[in-house]
Amino acid sequence: MSRYKGPKLKILRRLGDLPGLTQKKSKKTFPPGEHGQESRKPSEYALRLEEKQKLRFNYGLSEKQLLKNIKLAKKVPASTGIVLLQILEMRLDNTIFRLGLAPTIPAARQLVNHGHILVNAKILSVCSYQCKPGDNITIKQKSSSISLIKKYLEFPALANIPNHLEFNKETLTAKISGIVERNWVALQLNELLVVEYYSRK
For residue 183, tell me if it sits in a domain: no
The edge-to-edge listing of strands for the beta sheet with 122-123 is 122-123, 117-119, 136-139, 173-176, 165-168
For residue 186, tell me if it sits in a domain: no
Q: Model confidence over 67-103: pLDDT tens digits? A: 999 999 999 998 999 999 999 999 999 999 999 899 9
What pLDDT was estimated at residue 86?
Answer: 94
What pLDDT was estimated at residue 155?
Answer: 78
How much is the pTM? 0.84
For residue 108, tell me if it sits in a domain: yes
- Report the SS3 class of residue 173: strand
For residue 86, tell me if it sits in a domain: no
Higher pLDDT pick, 35 / 11: 11
For residue 54, tell me if it sits in a domain: no
For 50-54, 187-191, 196-200, which range has the lowest pLDDT when averaged over its residues? 196-200
- How many Å is the Cα radius of gyration of the chain? 17
The per-residue DSSP string of 114-161 comes to TT-EEETTEE---TT-B--TT-EEEE-SSHHHHHHHHHHHTS-SSSS-
Q: Model confidence over 158-186: pLDDT tens digits? A: 778 899 999 998 899 999 999 999 988 88
Domain count, the chain: 1
Q: Model confidence over 105-156: pLDDT tens digits? A: 889 999 999 999 999 999 999 999 999 999 999 999 999 999 999 988 887 7
Contacts of 141 (CB under 8 A, 6+ apart): none
For residue 128, tell me if it sits in a domain: yes
31, pLDDT greater than 90:
no
Residue 165 phi, psi dihedral angles, 5° rounding: -120, 140
Which range marks the domain in which residue 161 is found?
A: 91-178
For residue 165, tell me if it sits in a domain: yes
**CATH code of the domain containing 124:** 3.10.290.10
2, pLDDT greater than 80:
no
Q: Model confidence over 35-76: pLDDT tens digits? A: 445 566 778 888 899 999 989 988 988 899 999 999 999 999
Q: Model confidence over 12-28: pLDDT tens digits? A: 666 777 776 665 555 55
For residue 103, tell me if it sits in a domain: yes
6, pLDDT greater than 70:
no
